[in-house]
Amino acid sequence: MTQTQTPKSDLGGRFTLPGTSLTPNRLGYGAMQLAGPGVFGPPRDRDEALAVLREAVDRGIDHIDTSDFYGPHITNQIIREALHPYPAGLTIVTKIGARRGADKSWPAALSKAELTSAVHDNLRNLGLDALAVVNLRMSAGHHHPVDGPIEEPLNALVELKRQGLVRNIGLSHVTPGQVQAARAMTEIVCVQNQYNLAHREDDALVDGLAADGIAYVPYFPLGGFSPLQSSTLSEVAAELEATPLQVALAWLLQRAPNILLIPGTSSVAHLRDNLKAGSLRIPPEQVARLDAIGSGAEAQGSALPRNG
């Protein structure tokens, strides 16, 4: 019997993380939604969660974003069950700096002991000897990044890199000032902040990192938890015969060459829809109209539709 091969998707081209041999496709996958409601506890459908991961890799995705505080522990355990031993070329990026409370809260966990424990949790639950990229997440418990000292937790992560447990360091939920301070201490390969059509506070940071060849990875690229109904987005999507979510992702790919996407979903059908964004090209006139969303009245206090 002839086995049918899953067609590979156009994943937006490749980007090389600075100072590394890692060259992931620009359209990746975020694993946060593989846990249960509120990113806590087991998924509603574990078999579907496993299927999503396997489909993603079969379609050519080679960049998975995760954290051991998703679940906690559960998302990483599902990744290991679905994909271990991992295929050559797969880059798993994780993050540390928060933990989960019994009430599903996200308190900070930035002491040296907590960061060290978090790295070992990620290693154990993913089944790895070293982590390819670890993002230091600051400002836990805050909706927006809050400026403050980054040196002490970053020094702890640099020490874990010296020990060979972490190969590369990134940042998450940080201010431009924290990015500057971190880059003075060690090489930073990526920055992960909230950014999408409606949330454009990081425009200057995106451009500055692009000039220096550092990846920018927007979380909630499809909006996260607070939906926006944008008439402009819907109109452009209709004109391009695409969905609003596909247009939102394609806009990010065209926004800057250093943007790497990690849209998340717990559905194989939604995953396939998301991947179509990699081959969608938005003409300049529509790009200009979409650009106006972030500065217009439509964007006030909202985000894009969540994709589950």
Tallying the residues shown for the chain, one arrives at 308
Note if 70 is an active site residue.
yes
CATH of the domain at 184: 3.20.20.100
AA letter at 38: G
pLDDT at 10: 85
Distance CA 24, CA 15 (A): 6
| pLDDT given at position 224 | 63
Q: Is residue 6 part of a domain?
A: no
228 occurs within a structural domain: yes
Residues 6+ positions from 221 with CB-CB distance below 8 Å: 195, 196, 248, 249, 252, 261, 262, 263
Domain assignment of residue 64, yes or no: yes
Domain holding 77, by residue range, is: 29-299
SS3 at position 226: coil
What pLDDT is stored for residue 140 in this prediction?
79
Q: Is 201 part of a structural domain of the chain?
A: yes
Determine the pLDDT at residue 123.
Answer: 98
d(CA 262, CA 279): 16
Tell me which of 70, 195, 216, 219 is the catalytic residue: 70
Nearest CA to 250 out of 295, 197, 213 is that of 197
Tokens encoding 236: 């452009």
* pLDDT at 222 (0 to 100): 72
In a domain, 5, yes or no: no
What pLDDT was estimated at residue 227?
52
Q: Is residue 4 part of a domain?
A: no
pLDDT in tens, the chain (308 residues): 444 556 677 899 999 999 999 999 999 999 999 999 999 999 999 999 999 999 999 999 999 999 999 999 999 999 999 999 999 999 999 999 999 999 999 999 999 999 999 999 999 999 999 999 999 999 877 788 999 999 999 999 999 999 999 999 999 999 999 999 999 999 999 999 999 998 999 999 999 999 999 999 999 877 765 555 689 999 999 999 999 999 999 999 999 999 999 999 999 999 999 999 999 999 999 999 999 998 754 444 344 444 44
- What is the token pair recorded at 260? 């790497």
Q: What is the pLDDT of residue 152?
A: 98
Whether residue 10 lies inside any domain: the answer is no
Cα-trace Rg, the chain: 18
Confidence (pLDDT) at 306: 42
Count of structural domains, the chain: 1
Task: Quote the pLDDT of residue 141.
Answer: 74
277 lies in a domain?
A: yes
H helix runs in the chain, sequence order: 46-58, 74-83, 112-126, 151-162, 176-183, 203-211, 231-239, 244-255, 268-275, 284-291
Instruction: For the sheet with 169-172, list strands across it.
Output: 29-30, 63-65, 91-96, 133-137, 169-172, 188-194, 215-219
What is the 3-state secondary structure of 90-120?
A: CEEEEEECECCCCCCCCCECCCHHHHHHHHH
pTM of the shown model: 0.93
Pair of tokens at residue 196? 């999408």
C-alpha 173/C-alpha 136 separation (Å) is 8
